[in-house]
């Protein structure tokens, strides 16, 4: 028996901000093999794709959970989602999946593509929460799926990290549509619309813009602020506001549920706590502050895991920008650790930065823009 809710797209879209700029980008999804939506939790991935999917009949939706790492279960739900999108067109493949009459996932997908060869209309398959898949056989089978899927089929994947789906090759071939956390972050206009829908009394545009900047456009943080008691909306930078400090445990629980602090490797957890004292960093600073080597490789790995770090490519330097909420939560989690780590911070010149470099000028301009 299949659980219907796992094959149902979210339909409760009342009081959501319509992301016009992102929907415009997704309007061309049919020109790509894969549309990849990646960000940490709370950035509105599912809501965005639900808005985009509204009114579409040729779309199948598959919401994953950890139990879907079982190959047979994954196959049954994926084929059922395709059947929803095609109104039962792939009957042979559905029977094979139900009776488990296939040698491997790739052989089942091959039969699926044979049947879809007679389906000529645009077709979409959404897979939500793909980060929950850890089975390497499923990863390999989905790479096969993407390589051989019909031209009229677009796979839409939502994930908190970068999935193992041959992304680099798709980028090179211009077959990948990507939307990441920086694009999903609310703009000033979207934040104003968000508060207007949720607050009983209006908020000034300048006020909502400042709040949006303080949380780097993170939708979940905006929601927590909107739920504050009347009169408690911050009127000063959030990091210093009492209401924000009181709501920090709620945000910490959210990040905890994202496995931000409880990563499987304790060294990574320590790395995050130490590096959170830096708002911007490169490998030289990381090596000096954390005492670890290969700082750039560690930053790239953390970014792939979707842990609230953004990569910025600057001439002659590779930088990462720490999300402001990482710094706040690190402080809330371990103030003593944070204070002790601050003692190890070194001036940029001692970390190998020239006194006047493009990287340094970029960081100064970025900090001014974020105030």
Span 185-226, pLDDT tens digits: 999 999 999 998 888 888 889 988 988 888 888 888 888 888
Q: What is the pLDDT of residue 302?
A: 67
Q: What is the pLDDT of residue 41?
A: 86
Q: Which of 208, 235, 257 is the last residue of a domain?
A: 257
Residues 99 and 136 in one domain: yes
Chain centroid offset of residue 258 CA: 11
Residues 278 and 345 in one domain: yes
DSSP class of residue 131 equals G
Residues 163 and 280 in one domain: no
Residues 229 and 200 in one domain: yes
Q: Which of 153, 184, 215 is the last residue of a domain?
A: 184
Q: What is the pLDDT of residue 214?
A: 81
Residues 153 and 291 in one domain: no
Q: What CATH number is given to the structural domain containing 343?
A: 1.10.10
Residues 156 and 288 in one domain: no
**pLDDT digits (tens), the chain, 371 positions:** 899 999 998 877 777 899 999 999 999 999 999 999 999 888 999 999 999 999 888 999 999 999 999 999 999 999 999 999 999 999 999 999 999 999 999 999 999 999 999 999 999 999 999 999 999 999 999 999 999 999 999 999 999 999 999 998 999 999 999 999 889 999 999 999 999 888 888 888 998 898 888 888 888 888 888 876 655 555 555 444 444 445 544 554 454 444 444 444 556 666 766 666 666 666 677 777 777 777 667 666 766 666 555 544 333 445 555 555 555 555 555 554 445 444 444 554 445 444 555 444 544 544 444 44
Supply the pTM of this predicted model. 0.72
Distances (CA, A) of 36 to 118, 170, 279, 314: 26, 11, 27, 25
Residues 28 and 131 in one domain: yes
Helix (H, G, I), strand (E, B) or coil at 355: coil
Q: Which of 122, 149, 184 is the last residue of a domain?
A: 184
Residues 41 and 111 in one domain: yes
Domain count, the chain: 3
Q: E strand or H helix at 171, and its extent? A: helix 167-172
Residues 35 and 158 in one domain: yes
Residues 46 and 173 in one domain: yes
Domain membership of residue 16 as a residue range: 4-184
Q: Give the CA dihedral 351, 355, 361, 367, nearest 10 degrees.
A: 60
Distance between CA atoms of residues 294 and 141, nearest Å: 32
DSSP assignment of 26-87: HTTGGGSSEEEEE-STTS-HHHHHHHHHTT-SSEEEEE--GGGGSHHHHHHHHHHHHHHHHT
Q: What CATH number is given to the structural domain containing 80?
A: 3.40.50.300
Residues 10 and 92 in one domain: yes
Residues 294 and 153 in one domain: no
DSSP assignment of 226-253: HTSPTT-S-SS-GGG-HHHHHHHHHHHH
């Amino acid at each position: 028996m299949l659980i219907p809710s796992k094959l149902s797209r979210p339909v409760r879209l009342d009081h959501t901000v319509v992301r016009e700029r992102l929907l415009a980008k997704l309007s061309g999804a049919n020109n790509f093999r894969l549309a990849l939506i990646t960000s940490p939790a709370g950035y509105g991935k599912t809501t965005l794709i639900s808005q985009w999917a509204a009114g579409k009949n040729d779309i199948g939706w598959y919401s994953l959970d950890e139990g879907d790492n079982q190959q047979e279960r994954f196959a049954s739900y994926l084929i059922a989602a395709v059947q929803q999108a095609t109104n039962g067109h792939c009957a042979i493949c559905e029977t094979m999946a139900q009776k488990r009459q296939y040698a491997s996932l790739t052989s089942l997908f091959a039969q699926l593509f044979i049947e879809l060869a007679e389906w000529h209309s645009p077709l979409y398959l959404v897979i939500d929460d793909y980060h929950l898949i850890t089975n390497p056989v499923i990863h390999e089978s989905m790479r096969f799926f993407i390589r051989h899927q019909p031209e009229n089929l677009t796979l839409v994947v939502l994930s908190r990290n970068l999935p193992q789906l041959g992304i680099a090759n798709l980028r090179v071939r211009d077959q990948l549509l990507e939307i990441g956390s920086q694009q999903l972050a609310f703009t000033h206009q979207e934040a104003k619309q968000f508060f207007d829908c949720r607050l009983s009394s209006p908020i000034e545009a300048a006020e909502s813009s400042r709040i949006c900047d303080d949380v780097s456009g993170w939708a979940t943080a905006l929601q927590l602020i909107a739920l504050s008691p009347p009169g408690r909306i911050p009127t000063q930078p959030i990091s210093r506001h009492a209401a924000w400090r009181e709501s920090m445990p709620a945000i910490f629980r959210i990040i905890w549920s994202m496995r931000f602090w409880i990563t499987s490797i304790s060294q990574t957890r320590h790395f995050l706590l130490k590096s959170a004292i830096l708002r911007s960093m490169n490998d030289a600073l990381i090596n000096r502050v954390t005492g670890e080597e290969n700082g750039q490789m560690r930053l790239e790995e953390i970014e792939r895991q979707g842990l609230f770090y953004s990569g910025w490519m600057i001439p002659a330097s590779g930088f990462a920008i720490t999300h402001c909420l990482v710094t706040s939560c690190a402080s809330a989690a371990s103030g003593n650790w944070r204070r002790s780590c601050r003692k190890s911070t070194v001036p940029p010149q001692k970390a190998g930065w020239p006194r006047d470099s493009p990287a340094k000028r970029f960081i100064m301009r970025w900090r001014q823009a974020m105030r």
